[in-house]
Amino acid sequence: MNQWFAHTFPNVIYQGWGGDTGWWTAIVQTLYMTFWSAIFGGLLGLIFGIGLIITAPNGIAPSKTWFWIFDKIVSFFRALPFIILLAAIAPVTKIIVGTQIGTTAALVPLSLGVFPFYARQVQVALSEVSGGIVEAAQSVGASFWDIVFGVYLREGRSELVRVSTVTLISLIGLTAMAGAIGAGGLGNMAISYGYNRFATDTTLVATLLVLILVLVVQVIGDILVKRLNHK
């Protein structure tokens, strides 16, 4: 078995497990980028998604001005192809983290790349919360924040988990794209050490690892959604 693997995947073995170019390093870099980008981009997307809901004409704090601002910012970043965003905000990235390349530098464009997608997902998820529940909360004197946290986020939690799962899967794809231009991770492994060097086995294994990561996220997300739907 070992001989067959060594013969079929020679470049995979050559990369090794540890070191700067090893498989474990690539996996950790991908998880690092995914986790922190999900935190920063997720919080930003949640804020904008809630903002779009509450400032809409039928929201609890309707405001044409603020709705227009939220909507245009989200639409602008949503329309930018990620590869262009990476290059366009490179000077900003350098100001924030001190460099334009590397795993940590990728967190800035990744966060900005994922937040508009998540904001729209949150907007759709929260729009499905029954208006009757919101009106009932208002009728008993619930405060603004009570409605946001106690009604919108609580009633829409299962749907929020579902759209968060979709967003995480999309983010994993973005980390692979960022890795292709030097940010590290499995994307960098697939392109720099696989495709560019005609090492098909390296590209194949890197792709399979990304697919496994996506599958794990999807399974965990589905389990959480089912549990929340039964509460």
Residue 1: predicted pLDDT: 62
Q: How many CB atoms lie within 10 A of CB 89?
A: 18
Residue 42: predicted pLDDT: 94
From CA 221, how far away is CA 215, in angstroms rounded? 10
Residue 180: predicted pLDDT: 65
From CA 179, how far away is CA 31, in angstroms rounded? 12
pLDDT tens column, 94-128:
888 888 778 888 899 999 999 999 999 999 999 98
Residue 163: predicted pLDDT: 94
Task: For 169-217, give the DSSP string.
Answer: HHHHHHHHHHIIIII-HHHHHHIIIIITTT-HHHHHHHHHHHHHHHHHH
Domains defined for the chain, CATH in brackets: 22-229 (1.10.3720.10)
User: Burial level of 145, CB count in 10 A (0-12/13-18/19+)?
Assistant: exposed
Chain centroid, CA 185 distance in Å? 15
Residue 217: predicted pLDDT: 94
pTM: 0.90
Query: Contact at 8 Å (CB) between 156 and 193?
Result: no
Query: What residues of the chain score a pLDDT lower than 70?
Result: 1-2, 5-7, 180-181, 230-231
pLDDT tens column, 161-188:
999 999 999 999 888 888 766 778 888 8
Residue 76: predicted pLDDT: 93
Residue 181: predicted pLDDT: 66
Which one-letter amino acid corresponds to residue 205?
V
